[in-house]
Amino acid sequence: MPWWVILIIVVAVVLLVIWLVALYNRLVRLRVEVQQGWANIDVQLRRRYDLIPNLVETVKGYAEHERGVFQRVTEARTAAMDAKGPAQAGEANSFLAQALGGLFAVAENYPDLKASANFLQLQTELANVEEMLAAARRYYNSTVAQYNATQHTVPSNVVARFGDFSEAEFFEEEDEAVRAAPQVSFQQ
């Protein structure tokens, strides 16, 4: 075999190896971005979970006889904190959002509570957390979509199969009505 044919084969093999390494590195980078996106969501969820006990205690001071609402919020918070993975967390946070909606509905019946500076501050902080959580969710889900799409397209699907890459879960809440942060107006 002439030397130039051997050179072409060697160059082709080297280019193929470089290309496969580049595909593998892209999948690794996308997997890390997915993990980073989930970490961002986790931070916002923890901020939400930390605000809830203060909110419940503030409302309790005004509405002692609403124990069922407080119990549902506490149980939903515990379930959300114990959730494993994006799918389970999305479902648990749907129930938490519903429970918080019930808590805010109770607060509507107490004018002194609606005027409380502590309650208003907690409400504002919770709204800010919900906005940051929505942004983190958008980033995470778009990263998951890109990561999953890359794993299923040719030729990176071959590299993904041999590189032990698994599909990532989206972070979604159960239904559209629950997805939005509870909207509560304390104006009369």
In a domain, 141, yes or no: yes
Mean pLDDT for 64-87 is 91
Domain containing residue 103: 3-179
In a domain, 188, yes or no: no
In a domain, 187, yes or no: no
Query: What is the chain's mean pLDDT, rounded?
Result: 89
pLDDT at site 182: 55
pLDDT beyond 90 at 44:
yes
Tally of domains within the chain = 1
Q: Which two tokens stand for residue 38?
A: 């989930």
In this structure, are residues 100 and 18 in contact, taking their beta carbons and an 8 Å threshold? no
In a domain, 75, yes or no: yes
pLDDT beyond 50 at 35:
yes
pLDDT beyond 90 at 144:
yes
In this structure, are residues 37 and 170 in contact, taking their beta carbons and an 8 Å threshold? no
Residue 34: CA atoms inside 13 Å, Cβ hemisphere, count? 23
In a domain, 25, yes or no: yes
Check which CATH number belongs to the domain holding 107 and give it: 1.20.1440.20
* Radius of gyration over every alpha carbon of the chain, rounded to an integer in angstroms: 24
pLDDT-derived band at 19, boundaries 50, 70, 90? very high
Calculate the CA dihedral of residues 29, 34, 40, 44 and round it to 10 degrees: 180
Mean pLDDT for 78-83 is 95
In a domain, 154, yes or no: yes
In a domain, 94, yes or no: yes
In this structure, are residues 38 and 171 in contact, taking their beta carbons and an 8 Å threshold? yes
pLDDT-derived band at 172, boundaries 50, 70, 90? confident
Most confidently predicted of 57-61, 97-101, 141-145: 141-145
In a domain, 184, yes or no: no
